[in-house]
């Protein structure tokens, strides 16, 4: 716990959104009588500080966005509108995440890391 409660709250909400994306895709794969592959992971880089974490998150989200766009094109070619709609929803939410990450990194460049971190402290919420 580094004390950056506003940032932690945002990351928690993002993690819930990512789990919902995964569940949507898993449900669709099962509906189509496929078997979801959920045990394969890419290398996870945590970062040693907040700026590195944001940079790594941006890299991962950028790659995911490309993959989602590729998936949407495959769905379009397969004339699978329902799957395409699910993937397009995820694309929209991924673009929001990309915008937020880019804005945070730009803010760090503009005001400096120390002021950025100070702005992310806030009060810890009970729970």
CATH 3.50.50.60 for the 5-119 domain, yes or no: no
Is a pLDDT exceeding 50 seen at residue 127? no
62-71, 72-81, 115-124: lowest mean pLDDT where? 115-124
46 confidence band (pLDDT: 50, 70, 90): confident
Domain definitions of the chain by residue range: 5-119
DSSP string, 16-79: HHHHHHHHHHHHHHHHTT-----S--PPP---SSHHHHHHHHHHHHHHHHHHHHHHHHHHHHTT
Residue 3: is its pLDDT beyond 60?
A: yes
Per-residue pLDDT reduced to its tens digit, 75-94: 999 999 999 999 999 999 99
Mean pLDDT of 21-32: 96
Dihedral sign from CA coordinates of 45, 46, 48, 54: positive
């Amino acid at each position: 716990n580094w004390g950056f409660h506003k940032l932690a709250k945002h990351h928690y909400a993002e993690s819930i959104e990512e789990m919902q994306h995964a569940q949507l895709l898993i449900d669709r794969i099962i509906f189509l009588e496929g078997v979801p592959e959920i045990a394969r992971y890419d290398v996870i880089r945590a970062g040693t500080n907040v700026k590195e974490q944001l940079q790594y998150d941006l890299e991962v989200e950028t790659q995911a966005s490309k993959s989602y766009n590729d998936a949407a094109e495959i769905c379009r070619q397969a004339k699978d509108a329902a799957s395409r709609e699910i993937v397009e929803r995820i694309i929209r939410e991924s673009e929001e995440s990309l915008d937020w990450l880019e804005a945070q990194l730009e803010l760090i460049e503009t005001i400096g890391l120390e002021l950025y971190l100070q702005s992310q402290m806030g009060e810890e919420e009970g729970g």
